[in-house]
Amino acid sequence: QQQVKQSPQSLIVQKGGISIINCAYENTAFDYFPWYQQFPGKGPALLIAIRPDVSEKKEGRFTISFNKSAKQFSLHIMDSQPGDSATYFCAALPPSLEYGNKLVFGAGTILRVKS
């Protein structure tokens, strides 16, 4: 119940196309869903995040779509650029009586945008 399943494992998109990465979870108590972006040789960094009371959140070319009933959420990258080539992780924050940010991460998606 603490897992987050992410797909696809890798993705190749043409420049200007739409990149879509999907995640699914079982634990309905998760209450925060961030996406992290990681460039080769670097640590991940927070990209965008959403709470389950919101169905969509957009920041520039990045959009999270959230389907609470299906227990799924996805990242859409519009007008994908070569500079977006990176590994993307979805994550979920479990509820906890103790303060903390112990995220549960998906397996990651390696995105390559071809120019």
Partner 1 sequence: DGGITQSPKYLFRKEGQNVTLSCEQNLNHDAMYWYRQDPGQGLRLIYYSQIVNDFQKGDIAEGYSVSREKKESFPLTVTSAQKNPTAFYLCASSISGRRTGELFFGEGSRLTVL
Which residues contribute to the site for partner 1 (CB under 8 A)?
6, 9, 31-34, 36, 41-46, 49, 89, 91, 93, 96, 98-103, 105-108
Question: How is residue 73 written in tokens?
Answer: 């959420």
Q: Residue 74 in contact with residue 22, Cβ under 8 Å?
A: yes
Q: Which is nearer to partner 1, 6 or 63 (CB)?
A: 6
Q: Which is nearer to partner 1, 17 or 27 (CB)?
A: 27
Beta pairing partners, 62:
59, 77
Which amino acid belongs to residue 62?
F
How far is Cα of residue 109 from the mean position of the Cα atoms in its chain? Answer: 9
Q: Which is nearer to partner 1, 19 or 106 (CB)?
A: 106
Distance in Å, CB of 49 to partner 1, minimum: 6
- Cα gap 69→96, rounded to integer Å: 22
What number of other Cβ atoms are within 10 A of residue 60's Cβ? 9
Q: Which is nearer to partner 1, 40 or 115 (CB)?
A: 40
Torsion angle (degrees, nearest 10) of CA 25, 27, 31, 33? -20
